[in-house]
Amino acid sequence: MAVSESVSVLNRSSDGLRDGEESVAGDAALVASLKSGHPEAPAVFFDSYGEYVERLLLRVLGPDREAEDLLHDVFVQAFANIGQLRDPSRLKAWLGRMTVFVARGALRRRRRGRWLVFMPAQELPDQKSTSTPPESRDLLDRVFAVLRGLHPNDRIAFSLRYIEGLTLPEAAGAAGVSLATFKRRLKKSDNAFLARAQHHDHALYETLLETPRWRNPHE
């Protein structure tokens, strides 16, 4: 692969480019606009952070038939509570925490629902992406099938740390718990994930143990 050579070509060709001239911040102004009730601020807010929230929901819940509703819920809550955000520079973190909160609510609701309905909500068919290759979809299905057996808090810890790839402090912040608590949950989620994989999807467990394919890319 010629990526490394390309990087050097790029570096040569773009000397002088990296003047750090701009960054897309503007969160303070956006928050001020939302608080003051600018008519188009909600649209800008959604355009700026809609994908981020959708991604975070996807990380925690996997392909989900309620995804649209939950994305909607997060923004409704954000609009309703934006007045409580004191530090606009924390907008993204604040929204992330709200997203995790909504996702946790959905997970808890389903967990409770298992005992109340004939067909467990977790077994309802999830939203399938037609663009995802079958083998990739299979991996997603199997990973999230194992994750469904975890306690919502542990599942969130797993998703934020391993799938979204947040650092421990970031993930603890998003989960709304202390670093120590998050570490405890993560350890619990590790053990629970492996134990469930071993019992319910041995192939996944074996692959996880033996295949170098899933080594940490940052190693």
65: left (phi over 0), alpha (psi -120 to 50) or beta: alpha
Number of residues that make up the chain: 219
Cα angle for residues 85, 50, 146 (degrees, 5° grid): 100
The reply to whether 148 sits near other proteins by the rule CB under 8 A is no
The reply to whether 139 sits near other proteins by the rule CB under 8 A is yes
Site for other proteins in 19-58 (CB under 8 A): 19-26, 29-30, 32-44, 46-48, 50-51, 54-55, 58
Give the separation between CA 119 and CA 122, rounded to whole angstroms: 8
| Cβ neighbourhood burial of 159 (10 Å; 0-12, 13-18, 19+) | buried
Q: Binding other proteins by CB under 8 A: which of 102, 175, 193, 196?
A: 193
Site for other proteins in 55-84 (CB under 8 A): 55, 58-59, 63, 67-68, 71-72, 75-76, 79-84
Structure token pair of residue 54 = 């959708």
Q: Which of 161, 159, 146, 160 shows the shortest CA–CA distance to 192?
A: 146
| Total chain residues near other proteins (CB under 8 A) | 90
Site for other proteins in 170-189 (CB under 8 A): none
The reply to whether 124 sits near other proteins by the rule CB under 8 A is no
Q: Binding other proteins by CB under 8 A: which of 92, 93, 105, 117?
A: 105
Q: Binding other proteins by CB under 8 A: which of 93, 117, 124, 209?
A: 209
What are the backbone dihedrals phi and psi of residue 133, each rounded to the nearest 5 degrees, phi first? Answer: -60, 150
Q: Give least dist CB 211 to other proteins, A.
A: 9
Q: Binding other proteins by CB under 8 A: which of 92, 93, 202, 214?
A: 214
